[in-house]
């Protein structure tokens, strides 16, 4: 009788044990699933961040490509402009060949250099015959190719003090202004350059092309320049 009772009790307890064991398995599976979901969510977050970073890098790359393209376009334009400027200098030098007038470009400005040895005698502001002849060729080039431009005529001297003509000019600055005026007057009154296109300035000894360290350099500093500006 006792054995039967124990067997009955065991049989009654067995379903409860099976149910508890199944619950543990289900809970463990739920925990595993939850862990896997967390891993998936974490990986998805990493993937989203990677995609966002990739999109940002692609945007930066597109910006840099545009910037490089713009720089290349600017460089090409500058090279084309420089080539055009060099060609213009060469052409003008050809037009003025044999006149003694130098041609150079300073930035965007064309500069014609008339050495004083070409245009004036020492201490004088009166144009000599050789200077007048050279200016006739200069005026022809200016009228042919630079209509509408402004021409600054600027006088320069070396730093030697005036001796023989000190009473007349007082200073190198005054002499440089008078020489610029002589060139400007000849261009406008004799050669047909419009008066409203011409400006004058005198710099005296204060804007040397080279240091006044020797006779050759001083000769380079004694000059009248014609600057061609837009």
Distances (CA, A) of 208 to 4, 151, 162, 225: 131, 20, 17, 12
**Residue 5: inside a domain, yes or no?**
no
**Residue 45: inside a domain, yes or no?**
yes
**Residue 8: inside a domain, yes or no?**
no
Q: Is 98 left (phi over 0), alpha (psi -120 to 50) or beta?
A: left
Quickly list H helices, the chain: 2-95, 116-119, 129-145, 166-169, 172-185, 215-221
Q: Indicate the pairing of strand 102-106 with strand 223-229.
A: unpaired
Does one domain contain both 64 and 112?
no
Radius of gyration of the chain (CA): 46
The pTM of this model reads: 0.71
Does one domain contain both 63 and 133?
no
Domain-ending residue, one of 87, 118, 136: 87
**Residue 52: inside a domain, yes or no?**
yes
**Residue 1: inside a domain, yes or no?**
no
Which pLDDT belongs to residue 19? 62
Does one domain contain both 34 and 54?
yes
Provide CB contacts within 8 A for 13, sequence distance 6+.
none
Domain-ending residue, one of 87, 119, 134: 87
Does one domain contain both 58 and 154?
no
Hey, is 122 helix, strand or coil?
Answer: coil
Q: Which domain range does residue 190 map to?
A: 96-229
Does one domain contain both 164 and 199?
yes
Hey, is 118 helix, strand or coil?
Answer: helix
**Residue 136: inside a domain, yes or no?**
yes
**Tokens 């967390």 belong to residue:** 38
Which pLDDT belongs to residue 12? 58
Residue 159 near residue 170, CB atoms below 8 Å: no
For the chain, the domain total comes to: 2
Domain-ending residue, one of 54, 87, 120: 87
**Residue 43: inside a domain, yes or no?**
yes
Does one domain contain both 62 and 143?
no
**Per-position pLDDT tens, the chain of length 230:** 565 565 555 555 556 555 666 777 877 777 888 888 788 888 888 888 888 888 888 888 888 898 899 988 988 888 887 788 889 999 999 999 999 999 999 988 999 999 999 999 989 999 999 999 999 999 999 999 999 999 999 999 999 999 888 889 999 999 999 999 999 999 999 999 999 999 999 999 999 999 999 999 999 999 999 999 98
**Residue 13: inside a domain, yes or no?**
no
Does one domain contain both 144 and 200?
yes
Does one domain contain both 77 and 118?
no
Q: 193: domain CATH number?
A: 3.30.1330.60
Does one domain contain both 120 and 222?
yes
Does one domain contain both 81 and 100?
no
Does one domain contain both 83 and 100?
no
Which pLDDT belongs to residue 128? 96
Does one domain contain both 106 and 50?
no
Q: Indicate the pairing of strand 109-115 with strand 150-156.
A: unpaired
């Amino acid at each position: 009788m006792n054995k039967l009772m124990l067997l009955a009790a065991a049989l009654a307890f067995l379903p409860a044990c099976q149910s508890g064991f199944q619950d543990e398995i289900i809970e463990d599976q739920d925990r595993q699933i939850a862990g896997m979901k967390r891993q998936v969510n974490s990986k998805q977050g990493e993937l989203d961040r990677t995609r966002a970073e990739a999109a940002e890098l692609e945007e930066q790359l597109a910006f840099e490509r545009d910037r490089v393209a713009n720089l290349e376009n600017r460089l090409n334009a500058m090279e084309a402009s420089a080539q055009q400027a060099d060609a213009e200098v060469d052409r003008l030098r050809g037009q003025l060949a044999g006149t003694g007038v130098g041609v150079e470009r300073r930035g965007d400005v064309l500069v014609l250099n008339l050495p004083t040895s070409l245009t004036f005698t020492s201490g004088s502001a009166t144009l000599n015959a050789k200077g007048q002849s050279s200016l006739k060729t200069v005026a022809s080039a200016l009228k042919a190719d630079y209509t509408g431009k402004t021409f600054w005529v600027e006088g320069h001297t070396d730093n030697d003090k005036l001796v023989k003509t000190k009473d007349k000019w007082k200073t190198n600055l005054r002499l440089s202004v008078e020489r610029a005026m002589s060139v400007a007057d000849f261009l406008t009154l004799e050669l047909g350059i419009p008066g409203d296109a011409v400006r004058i300035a005198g710099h005296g000894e204060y804007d040397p092309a080279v240091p006044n360290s020797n006779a050759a350099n001083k000769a380079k500093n004694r000059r009248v320049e014609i600057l061609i500006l837009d």
